[in-house]
């Protein structure tokens, strides 16, 4: 009897009607985690609260012996230790990262994978060397079209054994806005293991799949990359046989801090009558966020929120505020962002088989009690 990878590594599937979250999805949810939504209060997410998604295992990495190799269609191959990377002029950028699968577990039918609700997001100050500086030093040859990034995390996915790999088009890799970073620090400290220690890629405005962690190789190629994470995963498909469009930049999204206090088990919210200060943050990897609206009646009517910031940190979320006068009863709070190119968030799900790039508006059910002291 043969023992093959297919024995442990199945095809993608959709959950059946009424099918609860499986033990396999739970195994992913127990190790990966979102950002608890009350952490939207922080402009920069404190360590440990930023969302984390690891495809395979967090690899062991020794900063002292780690080498990043840049090769392929370049005139001069580079081989750099972390200290050598730190010798380049450092650039620090505040960047909001979001998982491409954020919101997946709210879709019907539910794509079976990491079961995110809405909290797969976080913002950090990333410090590193601009990728274009390293590419200029290596000298990109004519005919180059893409840059492939290889991480050290190793696993199998739908039968394909692989190191995690993703590519960027050459113009994105060479561009200065957004400035793609080869980063070695997060919030002024060395990268934590789960965020790519000792070196990772940061591509502002792009979903998480582009942010290759535990970065070991950067390869300039003269043909488009057709690896698993580019050609099979992370594509927008209605049917399994579709070629599909690639997942790229982050669609606009606003989230609110669930107000009042929660029930432990249902996570439903309770407030008392009166003015409730609603707050949250909004971002888009496509174009700057220009407006945020709030609905307190399940999306039937919308009011503009006060939007701050946005000047200094193009690639980070912007804070917003809205004063809501809560009256006794049941309410559903929602918020939605609009960006400078007119993109906004749908009230009905935009479905695809991978559950990617889904920016359905958040729904926060709230119970307002009868009076100040009611319980």
Cα 7 from Cα 18, distance rounded (Å):
27
Q: 256 - beta bridge partners?
A: 280
Does the footprint of a second copy cover residue 4 (CB under 8 A)? yes
Using CB under 8 A as the binding rule, the residues of this chain from 154 to 193 that contact a second copy are 154-158, 161, 192-193
Contacts with a second copy: how many residues (CB under 8 A)? 78
Q: Is residue 85 within 8 Å of residue 128, measured between CB atoms?
A: yes
Among 14, 44, 49, 78, binds a second copy (CB under 8 A): 49
Between the alpha carbon of residue 365 and those of residues 258, 266, 270, 359, the distances in Å are 9, 10, 9, 18
Smallest CA-to-CA distance from 257 within 320, 330, 304, 309 is with 320
Using CB under 8 A as the binding rule, the residues of this chain from 95 to 124 that contact a second copy are 105, 112-113, 115-117, 119
Interface mask toward a second copy for 241-270; x: CB under 8 A = -----------------x--xxxxxxxxxx
Distance of closest approach, residue 193 Cβ to a second copy, in angstroms: 6
Q: Is residue 295 within 8 Å of residue 333, measured between CB atoms?
A: yes
Q: Which residue number, 76 or 266, has a Cβ lying nearer to a second copy?
A: 266
Q: Which residue number, 137 or 157, has a Cβ lying nearer to a second copy?
A: 157
Joined tokens for residue 350: 């935009």
Interface mask toward a second copy for 267-286; x: CB under 8 A = xxxx----------------
Using CB under 8 A as the binding rule, the residues of this chain from 55 to 94 that contact a second copy are 55-58, 60
Q: 168 - beta bridge partners?
A: 147
Cα 149 from Cα 164, distance rounded (Å):
8
Distance of closest approach, residue 265 Cβ to a second copy, in angstroms: 6
Distance of closest approach, residue 106 Cβ to a second copy, in angstroms: 8
Query: Which residues does 177 contact at the CB level (< 8 Å), separation at least 6?
Result: 314
Among 39, 135, 215, 316, binds a second copy (CB under 8 A): 39
Query: Which residues does 262 contact at the CB level (< 8 Å), separation at least 6?
Result: 268, 269, 270
Using CB under 8 A as the binding rule, the residues of this chain from 310 to 339 that contact a second copy are 328-330
Q: Which residue number, 27 or 323, has a Cβ lying nearer to a second copy?
A: 27
Q: Which residue number, 47 or 342, has a Cβ lying nearer to a second copy?
A: 47
Cα 316 from Cα 282, distance rounded (Å):
9
Q: Is residue 116 within 8 Å of residue 101, measured between CB atoms?
A: yes
Could you tell me which stretch among 25-33, 128-136, 215-223, 353-361 binds a second copy (CB under 8 A)?
Answer: 25-33
> How many of the other CB atoms lie within 10 Å of CB of 309?
15
Distance of closest approach, residue 92 Cβ to a second copy, in angstroms: 20
Measured in whole angstroms, the distance separating CA 92 from the mean position of its chain's CA atoms is 19
């Amino acid at each position: 009897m043969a023992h093959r990878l297919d024995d442990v590594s199945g095809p993608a599937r959709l959950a059946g009607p009424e099918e609860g979250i499986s033990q396999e999805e739970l195994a992913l949810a127990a190790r990966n985690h979102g950002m608890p939504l009350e952490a939207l209060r922080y402009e920069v997410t404190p360590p440990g609260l930023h969302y984390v998604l690891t495809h395979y295992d967090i690899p062991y990495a020794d900063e002292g012996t780690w080498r990043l190799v840049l090769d392929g269609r370049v005139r001069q191959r580079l081989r750099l230790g972390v200290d050598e990377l730190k010798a380049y002029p450092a650039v620090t950028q505040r960047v909001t990262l979001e998982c491409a699968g954020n919101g997946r577990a709210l879709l019907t039918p539910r794509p079976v994978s990491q079961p995110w609700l809405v909290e797969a997001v976080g913002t950090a100050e990333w410090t590193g060397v601009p990728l274009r500086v390293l590419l200029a030093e290596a000298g990109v040859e004519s005919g180059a079209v893409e840059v492939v990034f290889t991480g050290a995390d190793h696993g199998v996915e739908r039968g394909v054994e692989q190191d995690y790999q993703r590519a960027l088009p050459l113009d994105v890799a060479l561009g200065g806005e957004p400035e793609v970073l080869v980063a070695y620090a997060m919030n002024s400290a060395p990268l934590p293991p789960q965020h790519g220690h000792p070196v990772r890629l940061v591509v502002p405005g792009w979903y998480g799949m582009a942010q290759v962690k535990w970065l070991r190789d950067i390869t300039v190629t003269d043909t488009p990359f057709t690896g698993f994470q580019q050609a099979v995963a992370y594509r927008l498909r209605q049917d399994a046989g579709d070629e599909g469009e690639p997942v790229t930049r982050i669609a606009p999204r606003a989230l609110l801090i669930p107000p009042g206090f929660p029930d432990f088990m249902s996570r439903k919210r309770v407030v008392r009558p009166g003015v409730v200060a609603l707050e949250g943050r909004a971002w888009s990897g496509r174009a700057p966020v220009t407006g945020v609206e709030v609905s307190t009646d399940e999306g039937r009517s919308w009011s503009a929120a006060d939007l701050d910031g946005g000047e200094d940190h193009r690639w980070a979320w912007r804070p917003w505020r809205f004063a809501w006068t809560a009256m006794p009863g049941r309410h559903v709070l929602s918020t939605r962002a609009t960006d400078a190119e007119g993109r906004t968030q749908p009230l009905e799900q935009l479905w695809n088989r991978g559950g990617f790039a889904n920016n359905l508006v958040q729904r926060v059910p709230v119970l307002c009690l009868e009076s100040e002291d009611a319980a």
